[in-house]
Structure 1
Amino acid sequence: MNKALIALAFGGLAIGMTEFTMMGILPDIAKDIDVDIPTASNLIALYALGVVVGAPTLVALTSKQSPKKVLLFLMLLFFVFNGFFAFAPSKALLFITRFISGLPHGAFFGVGSVVAARLAKPGKEAQAISMMFTGMTIANLAGVPLGTYIGHHYSWRITYAVISLLGLLTFLAIYVWMPKFEANKNNNILKQIRYFTRWDAWLMVGVIAIGTGGLFAWISYIAPLVTHVSGLDPDRVPFIMILIGLGMFFGNIIGGKLADTISPSKAAITSFSAMAICLVVVFFTAHIQELAYPMAFVTGMISFTIGSPLQMMLINNAKGAETFAASAGQASFNIGNTLGAYLGAIPISLGYAYNYPSLIGVGMATIGALLAYVFLIKVVRPQMNV
Structure 2
Amino acid sequence: MPVALLALAISAFGIGTTEFIINGLLPELAADFNVSVPAAGLLVSGYAAGVVIGAPLLTIAGTRLRRKTMLLALMVLFLAGNLLSALAPTYGVLMAGRIVAAFSHGAFFGVGAVVAADLVEPAKRARALSVMFSGLSLANVLGVPAGTAIGQAFGWRATFWAVVAVAAVGLAGVGALVPSHPRPQGQSLLRELSVFRQGGVWPALAMTVFGFAPVFTVITFIAPMMTDVGGFSPGAVPTVMGLLGIGLVAGNLLGGRLADRAVLPAVYVSVGALTVLSAIVAVAAGNQPAFIAAIVLFGVAAFATIPPLQTWVLDSASQAPSLASAANIGAFNLANALGSLLAGLTVEAGYGYAAPAWIGMALGLAGLAVTGLVTLRVRRQALRADADDQKSARSFTSSGLADPVTSDTGTARR
Query: Which TM-score bucket, shorter chain as reference?
Result: over 0.9
Spell out the pairing of 1:24-39 with structure 2 (5 A cutoff): 24-39=24-39
- Is the contact between residue 64 and residue 184 of structure 1 (CA under 8 Å) also seen in structure 2? no
- Is the contact between residue 278 and residue 361 of structure 2 (CA under 8 Å) also seen in structure 1? yes
The one-letter code of the counterpart of 2:197 is T
1:191: which partner in 2? 191
2:391: which partner in 1? none
For residues 62 and 143 of structure 1, what CA distance do their matches in structure 2 show? 29
- Residue 376 of structure 1 deviates from its aligned partner by 2.0
- Is the contact between residue 113 and residue 129 of structure 1 (CA under 8 Å) also seen in structure 2? yes
The one-letter code of the counterpart of 2:337 is T
- Residue 53 of structure 1 deviates from its aligned partner by 1.1
TM-score, L = length of structure 2: 0.90
- Residue 265 of structure 1 deviates from its aligned partner by 1.5
For residues 377 and 267 of structure 1, what CA distance do their matches in structure 2 show? 16
- Is the contact between residue 7 and residue 173 of structure 1 (CA under 8 Å) also seen in structure 2? yes
- Give CA deviations for 1:74-108 in whole Å, capped at 9, x if unaligned: 11111111111111112221122211110000111
1:5: which partner in 2? 5
- Residue 379 of structure 1 deviates from its aligned partner by 2.7
- Is the contact between residue 78 and residue 104 of structure 1 (CA under 8 Å) also seen in structure 2? yes
* Pair 1:86-2:86 in alignment: yes
- Is the contact between residue 205 and residue 313 of structure 2 (CA under 8 Å) also seen in structure 1? no
The one-letter code of the counterpart of 2:324 is A
For residues 39 and 160 of structure 1, what CA distance do their matches in structure 2 show? 20
For residues 383 and 216 of structure 2, what CA distance do their matches in structure 1 show? 33
How many residues align structurally? 385
Q: Secondary structure at the match of 1:250?
A: helix
Structure 2's unaligned 5+ residue stretches are: 386-414
For residues 193 and 167 of structure 2, what CA distance do their matches in structure 1 show? 29
2:284: which partner in 1? 285
Larger radius of gyration: 2
* Pair 1:257-2:277 in alignment: no
Root mean square deviation, CA, Å: 1.4
- Residue 384 of structure 1 deviates from its aligned partner by 8.5
For residues 76 and 186 of structure 2, what CA distance do their matches in structure 1 show? 26
- Is the contact between residue 81 and residue 99 of structure 2 (CA under 8 Å) also seen in structure 1? no
- Residue 198 of structure 1 deviates from its aligned partner by 3.5
For residues 328 and 27 of structure 1, what CA distance do their matches in structure 2 show? 32
- Is the contact between residue 114 and residue 322 of structure 1 (CA under 8 Å) also seen in structure 2? yes
- Give CA deviations for 1:105-163 in whole Å, capped at 9, x if unaligned: 01111111111111112301000000000101111011110001111221111111111
* Pair 1:335-2:342 in alignment: no
- Is the contact between residue 214 and residue 274 of structure 2 (CA under 8 Å) also seen in structure 1? yes
For residues 346 and 81 of structure 2, what CA distance do their matches in structure 1 show? 33
The one-letter code of the counterpart of 2:114 is V
For residues 68 and 374 of structure 2, what CA distance do their matches in structure 1 show? 33
1:14: which partner in 2? 14
- Is the contact between residue 266 and residue 376 of structure 1 (CA under 8 Å) also seen in structure 2? no
For residues 249 and 191 of structure 1, what CA distance do their matches in structure 2 show? 35
The one-letter code of the counterpart of 1:366 is L
TM-score, L = length of structure 1: 0.97
- When structure 1 is superposed on structure 2, of 177-186 and 275-284 the one drifting more is 177-186
- When structure 1 is superposed on structure 2, of 263-272 and 243-252 the one drifting more is 263-272
**Residues 116 and 93 of structure 1, relative CA distance in 2, 3 Å threshold:** same
The one-letter code of the counterpart of 1:163 is V
Q: Secondary structure at the match of 2:35?
A: coil
- Is the contact between residue 187 and residue 320 of structure 2 (CA under 8 Å) also seen in structure 1? no
- Is the contact between residue 64 and residue 185 of structure 1 (CA under 8 Å) also seen in structure 2? no
- Is the contact between residue 71 and residue 112 of structure 1 (CA under 8 Å) also seen in structure 2? yes
For residues 239 and 383 of structure 1, what CA distance do their matches in structure 2 show? 49
For residues 57 and 31 of structure 1, what CA distance do their matches in structure 2 show? 35
For residues 139 and 346 of structure 2, what CA distance do their matches in structure 1 show? 29
2:229: which partner in 1? 229
- Give CA deviations for 1:252-304 in whole Å, capped at 9, x if unaligned: 0000000011x211111111111111111111111112222212211111111
* Pair 1:155-2:155 in alignment: yes
The one-letter code of the counterpart of 2:5 is L
Q: Secondary structure at the match of 1:183?
A: coil
- When structure 1 is superposed on structure 2, of 338-347 and 369-378 the one drifting more is 369-378
- Residue 200 of structure 1 deviates from its aligned partner by 2.8
Q: Secondary structure at the match of 1:113?
A: helix
What percentage of residue pairs aligned between the two structures are identical? Answer: 34
**Residues 384 and 20 of structure 1, relative CA distance in 2, 3 Å threshold:** farther
1:323: which partner in 2? 322
The one-letter code of the counterpart of 2:221 is Y
- When structure 1 is superposed on structure 2, of 368-377 and 353-362 the one drifting more is 368-377
- Residue 319 of structure 1 deviates from its aligned partner by 2.0
For residues 248 and 385 of structure 1, what CA distance do their matches in structure 2 show? 39
- When structure 1 is superposed on structure 2, of 286-295 and 172-181 the one drifting more is 286-295
The one-letter code of the counterpart of 1:300 is G
**Residues 91 and 319 of structure 1, relative CA distance in 2, 3 Å threshold:** same
- Is the contact between residue 114 and residue 323 of structure 1 (CA under 8 Å) also seen in structure 2? yes
* Pair 1:309-2:308 in alignment: yes
For residues 218 and 64 of structure 1, what CA distance do their matches in structure 2 show? 39
- Is the contact between residue 263 and residue 311 of structure 2 (CA under 8 Å) also seen in structure 1? yes
For residues 295 and 211 of structure 2, what CA distance do their matches in structure 1 show? 19
- Give CA deviations for 1:222-253 in whole Å, capped at 9, x if unaligned: 10111111110011000011001000010000
- When structure 1 is superposed on structure 2, of 137-146 and 189-198 the one drifting more is 189-198
Structure 1's unaligned 5+ residue stretches are: none
For residues 375 and 160 of structure 1, what CA distance do their matches in structure 2 show? 41
- Residue 194 of structure 1 deviates from its aligned partner by 2.5
**Residues 343 and 124 of structure 1, relative CA distance in 2, 3 Å threshold:** same
